Amino acid sequence: MVRALYPGTFDPVTNGHLDITIRAARLFDEVIVAVYDAPPKQLLFSTEERVALYRAAIAERGLTNVSVISYRGLTVRTAAELGCQVVVRGIRALGDFLYEADMAITNRTLAPEIELVFLMTLLEYSYISSSRVKELAALGEQVEAYVPPAVAAAMAARLGRH
Ligand code: COA
C-alpha cells in the first residue's frame, strides 16, 4: 500500500495539476492532494475555496483514490503524519527542475525516509501556471481550456465576469 502526497498552492487547480493527479492516482494506491495554507504569494482564493475547487475537479473526473486536504508547516512533516511514503511534484520545464532539485535536497535532509517522485507534465500543459491563468481571466480571456469547469466559473465570479 503506497500513499502519496501531492502538495502545492493550487490557486487555482489547473488541468496541468489534474493531469499530474490522475497519473499519480494510477501509480499509487492512494493520493492525498495537500493544499498549502499560506504560501508567500498573493492569492485569489482562500484555502477553503482552493480545497473545494480541487475536490470538485476530483469528483468530476471520478477519481476514487484521491482526497484533498489543507495543511500548514513543512510538507514532509505533513506527509509523515499522514503515512505517505512518497511526495509527488510535477515538472514542466528546466526552471521547475532547478527549483525542485533545490527543494528536494532540503526535504531529503529533513525526512530521508520519504521518497520524492517527479512526473513530467504533458507538453500541452507545460506552459500553464496558476498565475498565467489568473492573468488571462483578469484580462477577460476565456480560460476553459486550462482549468476545470468549476474553476473557470469561480474565476469569472471572483473577477466579476459572469
Ligand atoms: N501544471 C500546471 N501548473 C503547474 C504544474 C503543472 N503540472 N506544476 C506546477 N505548476 C505551477 C503552479 O500552479 C505554480 O504556479 P503559480 O506560481 O502561478 O502559483 C507554479 O507552477 C509552481 O509554484 P511553486 O511555488 O513551485 O509550487 P506551489 O506553490 O504549487 O507549491 C509548496 C509549493 C507549497 C509545495 C512548497 O512551497 C512547500 O512545500 N511549502 C511548505 C514549506 C516547506 O516544506 N518548504 C520546503 C522545505 S523548506
Q: Where are the domains of the chain?
A: 3-126
Index of the ligand 1 atom closest to the CA of residue 77: 44
The CATH architecture annotation of domain 3-126 reads: 3-Layer(aba) Sandwich (3.40)
Summarize pLDDT for 118-139 with one digit per residue, the tens: 999 998 898 899 999 999 999 9
Q: How many CB atoms lie within 10 A of CB 65?
A: 15
Determine the pLDDT at residue 160.
74
Which triple of cell numbers denotes residue 90? 510535477
**Considering only CA atoms, which residue is closest to atom 42 of ligand 1?**
74
pLDDT tens digits for range 69-101: 999 999 999 999 999 999 999 999 888 889 999
- For residue 36, the ligand 1 atom closest to its alpha carbon is 34
Q: What is the pTM of this model?
A: 0.95
Task: Look at the block and give the residue holding cell 497519473.
Answer: 23
* The pLDDT of residue 161: 63
Q: Residue 51 corresponds to which cell in the numbers above?
A: 480545497
Sheet of strand 86-91: strand arrangement: 66-71, 30-36, 3-8, 86-91, 115-120
pLDDT of 142 > 60? The answer is yes
Phi then psi dihedrals of residue 57, to 5 deg = -65, -40
